[in-house]
Amino acid sequence: MAPRVLTVDSLNPKVLALADHLGCDAITRRAECIQKEIETKPGSHPFDEILYCNLSNPQSMGQKPIKFFREVLALCDYPHLLEQSETNSLFSSDAIARARKILDLFPWRTTGGYSHCQGTEGLRDVIAAGITSRDGFPCNAEDIFLTDGAAPPIHMMMHLLIRDEKDGILCPVPSHSLYTSSMVLQGATLVPYYLDESRGWGVRMSDLKKQLDGARSKGINVRGLVVINPGNPTGHVLMEENQREIVEFCRKEDLVLLADEVYQENICTADKKFKSFKRIAGSMGSGEGDISLVSFHSVSNGYYGECGRRGGYMEVTGFNSEVKKQVYKVASLSSCSNISGQILMSLVMNPPTVEDESYTSCQAERNGILSTFSRCAESMVRALNRLEAVTCCKAEGATFVFPALRLPKKAIAAAEERNTEPDVFYALRLLENTGIVVVPGSVFGQVPGTWHFRCTILPKEEKIPLFISRFTAFHEAFMEEFRD
């Protein structure tokens, strides 16, 4: 037979070099199989439902969308409703007014056409005003690029910054695999810096400097620094002092600061507040040319949890006009981001105000969701810290806890016999015995010799006691089985 034209070996080697996350995939596939077995063969497992604590997808976990946002989207997508008398009784007055105003931004008042490749100008104006209000420093709408969530602009910036394998990006460990994967695809060198678990996952500046100098001594041109705040998978919120150190570090070392701030609305503790890196830089007196900063936000990850809408933006500051032209060039490779996501991003950055009809209900929905997150996180952390050989930092933001496991040597040996990571072995055993699905820490990276797992705080609040009782019973039995 003639040889096949396309084989795995003939594919782009950068794609083949991507981490497979086999442990995570194995857990997800097994959970899907168990779900089917529970449905078709009741009683086949020691539990009757799967608890999906691996998903950072609020609405798939039962969270309801924010009413005002969906009202505006519905009216924009079907303007015919605005001409019906019944609409005034079905929709809030401010949603109707907002939809009319948004539709006026589009030719023929329809959301079915392309927009400007950078995003609809009027929506960018609204978002810029929201950023200005949030930070207390001006935002230029020309610095805003509306995108399909946060992933595309992150890939976009990697395209712009990375020239060859000698270029590198400082990236936190642990962190979301989006960054490491993007760097692999671009052929960049990952320069890891480890977050300090003993300090609530803060950034230790001495380690950051050590990693930077070490990379440069090997001939790596370090172009940028990624910071995720609030953290994924760690659920931490950086101290303002730490943020100031990071800004000064990037200014001094001439690094582009890539600030992932998609969880900025999700703060789970009263003693921490979100402050954007743009606000921090401005408060330090940084001018337009002092630091190059790219900030990412999306509609997927706040209290609204609109993951499927794929809305987001990046704001670029400190870039000269010639560099901005190149950013625009890359952005123009896509006709535009989806219009529903653009609209929703504008609503997120400009929600109802106190004089609006929807203000009270919108605030109640928001506060209810965030309060639930806070209670669930507190219950999980408290329960996990009561367990033998488990420590869990306080959940401060985002939607995760990231506990550390001190696994017995026998458990580590058992994992090695099965040619799998110890935290994957633990997570698979957890799934088989309890139906709880978590993500092994090895997916995100961790200090060698340490083991973690990421667990979301998104299950319905009434399921948290079930999670705690199942997890506690499993862990105690696991530790006894593998006790050294």
CA distance 456 to 460: 11
pLDDT score for 40: 93
The average confidence (pLDDT) of the chain is: 94
Which long-range CB contacts under 8 A does 72-77 form with residues at least 24 apart?
72/98, 72/99, 72/102, 72/343, 72/347, 73/340, 73/343, 73/344, 75/99, 76/102, 76/103, 76/111, 76/340, 76/343, 77/111, 77/340
List, in sequence order, every beta strand (DSSP E) within 84-134.
none
Q: How far is CA 283 from CA 119, 136, 189, 276, 278, in A?
A: 29, 9, 32, 11, 9
Give the pLDDT band of residue 26 (cuts 50, 70, 90): confident
The more confident residue out of 36 and 8 is 36
Q: Is the pLDDT of residue 475 over 90?
A: yes
Three-state DSSP at 5 gives coil
User: Looking at the predicted structure, is the pLDDT value of residue 19 above 60?
Assistant: yes
For 175-189, the pLDDT digits (tens) are: 988 898 888 888 899
Q: Where does the pLDDT of residue 476 fall: very low under 50, low under 70, confident under 90, or very high at 90 and above? A: very high
Is residue 288 a contact partner of residue 49, using CB atoms and an 8 Å limit?
A: no
Alpha-carbon distance of 206 to 196, in angstroms, equals 11
Residue reference for tokens 């950023």? 131
- Among 298, 305, 398, CA closest to 349: 298
What was the pLDDT predicted at 190?
93
The amino acid at residue 284 is M
Residue 252 CB burial class (10 angstroms; 0-12, 13-18, ≥19) = exposed
Q: What is the pLDDT of residue 270?
A: 87
Would you state the pLDDT for residue 23? 59
Q: In the predicted model, is pLDDT for residue 150 greater than 70?
A: yes
Q: pLDDT digits over 67-91, tens only?
A: 999 999 999 999 999 999 999 999 9
Exposure b/e, 153-170, CB count within 10 A at least 16 = b? bbbbbbebbbeeeebbbb
Q: Which pLDDT does position 336 carry in this prediction?
A: 93
Check: CB of residue 117 under 8 Å from CB of residue 332.
yes
Tell me the residue type at 38: I
Q: Which of 25-29, 242-246, 339-343, 459-463 has the lowest mean pLDDT?
A: 25-29
- Residues 383-438: pLDDT tens digits? 999 999 999 999 999 999 999 999 999 999 999 999 999 999 999 999 999 999 99
Assess whether pLDDT exceeds 80 at residue 217.
Answer: yes
Q: What is the DSSP string of 236-286?
A: ----HHHHHHHHHHHHHHT-EEEEE-TTTT-B--TT-----HHHHHHHTT-
Closest CA to 393 of 206, 202, 252, 182: 202
Token pair 């609040």 is at which residue? Answer: 461
Phi, psi of 437 (to 5 degrees): -110, 120
Could you tell me the two tokens for 331?
């952005």
Backbone dihedral angles phi then psi of residue 182, each to the nearest 5 degrees: -60, -40
C-beta atoms surrounding 199 within 10 Å: 13
**How far lies 413's CA from each of 283, 408, 410, in Å?**
52, 9, 5
* One-letter amino acid of 238: L
Tell me the pLDDT tens digit for each residue of 93-129: 999 999 999 999 999 999 999 999 999 999 999 999 9
* Cα gap 82→218, rounded to integer Å: 63
Cβ of 224: how many Cβ atoms within 10 Å?
Answer: 23
